[in-house]
Structures are given as structure tokens and as C-alpha cells.
Amino acid sequence: MSEDLNNEKKEENEEINTNESKETEVKQEEKKKAKFTFNCTRCNKCCAERGPVPLTFWDLEMWARNGVLINFMPYLELYKNPAGNLDLILKPIPIPKDDADQKATSLDPFASTPIEELLDEKCPLYNLEKKECLIYENRPLSCRTYPLEFDGKNYSIVDVDCPGVGQEGMTKEELEKMRETAKLMFTELTRIRINIPVLHQIIQKDVMMELIKQNKEAMESMSEEDKKKINEVFGKSRDVSEK
Ligand code: SF4
Ligand code: SF4
């Protein structure tokens, strides 16, 4: 094939790709602007690729009321999202790619992988084999309103690829309830975002004070002989560092 023909073909392909991505953009824009109709198809895409699920006091209070709060502790994490907000989240878990990965994940599902690398990974409470939420009755507020969001002024769809968007079938009352839930989510998210940094500081200070107290108590309960030994050890390490 001549170089001219090759270039022509390349340009043709580039044109097709550009047209396709423009078409997708237009479709997404149309979906965003269209009157909100929604009916969840239970495809579970949102649970399998959700990334961090933001939590609110509403969720913590519900879990406490239902006596299950302790079960969620291992999954909680603080995460500074790209908009700069500090959120309490359910930390996503990567889907294992092979057996070795599976073994490593089962040994330590919350390995030190930074959350930034898990933004499209599955919710830790999603059962991949059964394709179901392990805590459906206790699912967080943000799962109840997904993919609808309210920002204090407007509603928006956070995931235009959600297959449920644009589907008919929900009653007017159900849609209204979803809008109300999205509003509640906004209020609750604002409430926890205001309080988390303060709680974080208090907890850190509290932990520090507790450690100091523990140290003091441990030292007090030691025999004079042990105290002497400890002082000798510290004395030696100080001598070494001063050399
Ligand atoms: S909310 Fe959307 S992505 Fe999630 S299960 Fe329903 S249809 Fe699928
Ligand atoms: S808590 Fe349940 S509904 Fe929410 S993302 Fe996780 S698996 Fe899905």
C-alpha cells in the first residue's frame, strides 16, 4: 500500500473515532439534560465499579440503631477526594486478577493500596460471585440515591452510563422519594464534611493523650530495678546518637 493510501486510511479512522466520541458526548449531554426518568435494572455495575462510597452520620446512626456498626469498622477509611473534601468512605477492594492475587487479597484485603488507585474498584460489601450487596437492608444513603445527586441547587446524574437512567417504570411518588433522598444525602454529606476534620483532630489528640497516659502508668508500675535498666538503655542509645 502506498504511503498516500496509508495516510488516507489513518485520517479516515481518526475521523470515525472523533465522530464516535462526539456522538457519545452528545448522547451523554442529552441524557444529562433530559427529564429524569430512572428504573434500576439491577445490573450492579455501580457496586462492582463504584470506587469509594461516601458515608454520612445518617449511615452510622442507622448501623448503630440496627446493632451492626461494629461490622463495618474494618471497611472505613478517611479519604481526601479530588474536590478537596475529607470524606469517610467504604474503602474499595480490587477485584483479584489471578489466584496469587486472590490469595494476597484474602490475606489482607485492605493492603496498603492507596485509594487513588482503587477509584474504579468494587465496593467491599459487594459479593462478586452472587452479584449482590451483602448489606442491602443496611446500604448507605448514597447507594439509595445513586446515580442521582443534589448539590444544594440542582440535581445531576453522576453516572450517565448507568443503564437505569432513562428507563421508565418508576412511579411519580418513587421518583419524588429518590429526589428527597438525594436532598437528604446532600444535607448529611455537608454535616459530616463539617464535622469530620474536627473529629479527626479530637480523636488524634485523644489517642496521643491515651498513649502518654499508658506510658506514664507503665513506668510507674515498674520496679526500681527495671526503671534503672530502661534508663541505662536510653542512656546508651543517647550516647550513640550523640557520637
Ligand atoms: S443504579 Fe444503575 S448501575 Fe447501579 S444497579 Fe441500578 S442500573 Fe445498574
Ligand atoms: S453498599 Fe451495597 S449497594 Fe452500596 S455500593 Fe456496596 S454493594 Fe452496592
Where is pLDDT greater, at 221 or 93?
A: 93
Q: Which atom of ligand 2 is closest in space to residue 135's alpha carbon? A: 2
| pLDDT, averaged across the chain | 80
Where is pLDDT greater, at 29 or 192?
A: 192
Q: Across 156-160, 181-185, 227-231, which has the greatest mean pLDDT?
A: 181-185
For the segment 44-57, the average pLDDT, to the nearest whole number, is 92
* pLDDT band at residue 135 under the 50/70/90 scheme: very high
Task: Centre a 10 Å sphere on the Cβ of residue 105 and count the other Cβ atoms it contains.
Answer: 17
The DSSP 8-state label assigned to residue 98 in this structure reads S
pLDDT at 226: 73
For the segment 85-110, the average pLDDT, to the nearest whole number, is 74
- pLDDT exceeds 50 at position 143: yes
Q: Across 31-35, 73-77, 210-214, which has the greatest mean pLDDT?
A: 73-77
Q: How far is the CA of 223 from the centre of ligand 1 (A)?
A: 64
Strand partners, 132: 127
Reported pTM = 0.69
Where is pLDDT greater, at 100 or 182?
A: 182
| CA neighbor of 165 nearest in space, from 31, 17, 9 | 31
- pLDDT exceeds 90 at position 133: yes
Pairing of strands 148-150, 132-133: unpaired
pLDDT at 242: 46
Per-residue pLDDT tens digits for 6-45: 666 666 666 655 666 666 666 666 555 557 889 999 999 9
The Cα 123–Cα 127 span in angstroms is: 9
The Cα 128–Cα 110 span in angstroms is: 17
Q: Which of 88, 93, 143, 158 to mutate to test the pocket of ligand 2 (most atoms within 8 A of CB)?
A: 143
For the segment 37-65, the average pLDDT, to the nearest whole number, is 93
- pLDDT exceeds 60 at position 243: no
| CA neighbor of 54 nearest in space, from 35, 34, 37, 76 | 76
Pairing of strands 126-127, 132-133: antiparallel
pLDDT at 109: 59
Number of H helices, E strands in the chain: 8, 7
Q: How far is the CA of 240 from the centre of ligand 2 (A)?
A: 54
* Ligand 1 pocket, residue 43 CB under 6 Å: yes
Q: Which of 44, 50, 123, 142 to mutate to test the pocket of ligand 1 (most atoms within 8 A of CB)?
A: 44
Strand partners, 148: 157
Q: DSSP assignment of 122-167, as one string?
A: B-TTEETTTTEETTGGG--HHHHHTTEEE-SS-EEES-TT-TTBT-
Where is pLDDT greater, at 80 or 215?
A: 80
Where is pLDDT greater, at 150 or 202?
A: 150
Q: Which residue has the cell 481526601?
A: 80
- pLDDT exceeds 90 at position 177: yes
Pseudo-torsion of CA 23, 25, 27, 33, nearest 10°? -150
Residue 197 cell numbers, joined: 476534620
Task: Show the beta-strand stretches assigned E in 4-74.
Answer: 53-54
Residues 6+ apart with CB under 8 A from 66: 138
